[in-house]
Structure 1
């Protein structure tokens, strides 16, 4: 599976989380072209998305081990997957919040700032 295929697979989850959280689509799309907005609904949108793909801890924070395992199952062993893993390992220590929405946002924000090219979040 390629990054675009993963993104397409997540589109229905985007719709579900957008409706559930009430986040504006413009906020979701903003990081693709500019800085990551510091918005409470966007933070909880990302927490919802990670929960739906089952890569969060019981506390709702990003579960990096689960992410790495899912990548091994779903993605080819290529340079892009290696870069994704590298970005996860860079961003995991950047999460300082113990609150699900804030912690997830810190991780996703780092992900976008480190390498937008491998970011697959819809």
Structure 2
């Protein structure tokens, strides 16, 4: 399945950004901020480099390590609790505080649409992955991952 990380990851990043700085960020600034977090989650989940490189190119294999990589990001950034629950209200508040005004309405709409459309799963890795898929299908221009 061809996908690109987009809006869902921006939501994840928004939670982390509150504790790092108060300035609103554009997409390039978000990309810079996510690199060390991405590296940590890659190591924790033993994600093969080729899977991440493929994801940078917009191809997202449905592999467990990649799915759990996204869960790791969500958990580390306190967007998802350990039980796998996302808070849409928390996402909206963080987006308003931290994402530049040109992007915030799009990010919030993607969050709402994907949160409403994505079926909840017992497997939180799969659920997080499905949110990423939804976000890409909604607006792939908001990708925060690149080499």
TM-score by length of 2: 0.73
**Aligned residues of 1:47 and 1:61 also touching (Cα < 8 A):** no
Q: Aligned partners of 1:52 and 1:121: how far apart in 2?
A: 17
Please identify which structure carries the higher helix content.
1
- Cα pair distance change 1:94/1:35, threshold 3 Å: farther
- In the TM superposition, residue 40 of structure 1 has moved relative to its aligned partner by 0.5
TM-score of the superposed pair, with normalisation by structure 1: 0.87
Shift of residue 121, structure 1, vs aligned partner: 4.8
Task: Write the distance in 2 (CA, Å) between the matches of 1:70 and 1:115.
Answer: 19
Instruction: Name which of 110, 114, 120 aligns with 1:87.
Output: 110
More deviation, 47-56/58-67? 58-67
Residue 46 (structure 2) pairs with residue 22 (structure 1): yes
User: What residue number does 1:116 align with?
Assistant: 140
Please point out which of 81, 87, 103 is paired with 1:63: 87
SS of 1:36 mapped into structure 2:
coil
Give the number of equivalent residue pairs.
121
User: Which one of the candidate residues 62, 66, 85 is aligned to 1:38?
Assistant: 62
Q: Is the 8 A contact 1:62 1:103 kept in 2?
A: no
Task: Evaluate the alpha carbon distance shift between residue 4 and residue 51 of structure 1 in structure 2; reply closer, same or farther with a 3 A threshold.
Answer: same
Unaligned runs of 5+ in 2: 1-24
Judging changes above 3 Å, is the alpha-carbon distance between structure 1 residues 18 and 112 closer, same or farther for their aligned structure 2 residues?
same
What are the superposed Cα offsets for residues 58-107 of structure 1, whole Å, 9 maximum, x if unpaired? 412333222222111111222x2211111111111232213210110110
C-alpha separation in 1, matches of 2:145 and 2:58: 15
Q: Is residue 114–residue 135 contact of structure 2 (8 Å, CA) maintained in 1?
A: yes
Conservation of the 8 A alpha-carbon contact between 2:75 and 2:82: no
Are the counterparts in 2 of residues 64 and 88 from structure 1 also a CA contact under 8 Å?
yes
RMSD value, Cα: 1.8
Q: Does the alignment pair 1:51 with 2:75?
A: yes
